[in-house]
């Protein structure tokens, strides 16, 4: 039927493989910083690396010497309970192309959470030393790198609002609305269809619901004619009603004017 859209194709440029950063990687959030910063980043990149789907990239407590910019695919960050069982995970963030995955590793040195690829993914690595040099050279570039991590924190706060205040259906709708906006900024939403390479058990870890209840919520959204979540993508049928159900307001994403 439709092309298998379960994941973002790692190389859609028709066989031309990528060994360095170039302008077509400048999308999403990093695309909203100065072009001058981007030029500096291009020279600071020490490595382009591919990750397999579900591959762990770094773990809580690891000493980090590099930060990674996501170029293609999607990644997640999650916290594992210090408790007994290993199933006690919360997804605290999802990354789209153009997002730095662990830029906060620069000021923090080690992280409080794990980082993993969700789909097959391609990342650009920047040595912290090089990033510090960029910051030392330009306070404005420093402010913009800081800004990227502050958008991340604003999203954390919104997720807090979501799990604290929204009912299951509204919570899932809200999450889809957020990805709709963020992936649009990467040019990944076509015909109201966005890549959503998350299992229902992943959606459960995002929202704090059980897997079974996520299944029921998806059915409800589908039967209400709002959106269909299936096969690693989400088809939005009625964006207005979906947003109204979630009470969605995109200002926390600091949209460009």
Angle between helices 35-44 and 128-137 (to 10 degrees): 140
Q: Which is nearer to a copy of itself, 143 or 216 (CB)?
A: 143
Q: Which is nearer to DNA, 117 or 218 (CB)?
A: 218
Cα separation of 109 and 147, whole Å? 18
Listed residue (174, 165, 155) closest to 247, CA to CA? 174
Binding site partner of 59, from DNA, a copy of itself, none, Cβ cut-off 5-8 A by kind: none
Q: How far is the CB of 4 from DNA (least distance, A)?
A: 7
Residues at the contact surface with DNA, assessed by CB under 7 A: 4, 167-169, 199-201, 208-213, 215-216, 218-219, 230-231
Give me the residue label for tokens 């897997």. 211
Residues at the contact surface with a copy of itself, assessed by CB under 8 A: 60-61, 77, 79, 81-83, 88-90, 92-93, 104, 106-108, 112-113, 132, 135-136, 139, 142-144, 146-147, 149-154, 156-161, 163-165, 205, 207-208, 247-249, 251-252, 254
Binding site partner of 231, from DNA, a copy of itself, none, Cβ cut-off 5-8 A by kind: DNA
Q: How far is the CB of 81 from DNA (least distance, A)?
A: 13
Q: How far is the CB of 184 from DNA (least distance, A)?
A: 23
End-to-end CA distance of the chain: 38
Cα separation of 140 and 144, whole Å? 6
Q: Which is nearer to DNA, 216 or 244 (CB)?
A: 216
Binding site partner of 218, from a copy of itself, DNA, none, Cβ cut-off 5-8 A by kind: DNA
Q: How far is the CB of 62 from DNA (least distance, A)?
A: 26
Q: How far is the CB of 218 from DNA (least distance, A)?
A: 5
Binding site partner of 154, from a copy of itself, DNA, none, Cβ cut-off 5-8 A by kind: a copy of itself
CA 218, 236, 163, 205 dihedral sign is positive
Q: Which is nearer to a copy of itself, 215 or 228 (CB)?
A: 215
Cα separation of 122 and 176, whole Å? 23
Q: Which residues have CB under 8 Å from 228's CB, separation 6+? A: 221, 222, 234, 235, 237
Give the E-state strand segments of the chain in sequence order. 47-51, 56-58, 66-72, 75-80, 89-95, 114-117, 121-127, 193-195, 227-230, 233-236
Q: How far is the CB of 104 from a copy of itself (least distance, A)?
A: 5
Give me the residue label for tokens 């979501």. 162
Cα separation of 242 and 198, whole Å? 19
Q: How far is the CB of 122 from DNA (least distance, A)?
A: 20
Binding site partner of 213, from DNA, a copy of itself, none, Cβ cut-off 5-8 A by kind: DNA
């Amino acid at each position: 039927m439709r092309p298998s859209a379960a994941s973002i194709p790692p190389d859609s440029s028709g066989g031309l493989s990528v060994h360095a950063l170039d302008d077509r990687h400048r999308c999403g959030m990093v695309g909203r910083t100065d072009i001058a910063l981007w030029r500096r980043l291009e020279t600071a990149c020490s490595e382009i690396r591919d990750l397999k789907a579900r591959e762990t990239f770094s773990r809580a407590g690891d000493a980090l010497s590099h930060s990674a910019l996501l170029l293609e695919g999607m990644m997640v960050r999650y916290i594992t309970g210090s408790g007994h069982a290993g199933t006690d995970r919360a997804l605290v963030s999802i990354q789209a192309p153009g997002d730095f995955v662990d830029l906060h590793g620069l000021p923090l040195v080690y992280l409080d959470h794990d980082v993993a690829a969700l789909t097959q993914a391609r990342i650009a690595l920047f040595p912290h030393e090089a990033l510090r040099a960029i910051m030392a050279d330009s306070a404005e570039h420093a402010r913009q790198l800081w800004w990227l991590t502050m958008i991340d924190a604003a999203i954390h706060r919104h997720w807090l609002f979501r799990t604290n205040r929204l009912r299951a259906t509204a919570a899932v709708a809200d999450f889809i609305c957020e990805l709709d906006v963020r992936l649009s900024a990467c040019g990944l939403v076509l015909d109201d269809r966005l890549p959503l390479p998350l299992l229902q058990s992943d959606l459960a870890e995002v929202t704090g619901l059980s897997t079974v209840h996520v299944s029921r919520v998806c059915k409800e959204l589908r039967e209400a004619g709002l959106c269909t979540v299936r096969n690693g993508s989400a088809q939005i049928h009625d964006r207005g009603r979906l947003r109204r159900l979630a009470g969605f307001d995109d200002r926390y994403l600091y949209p460009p004017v």
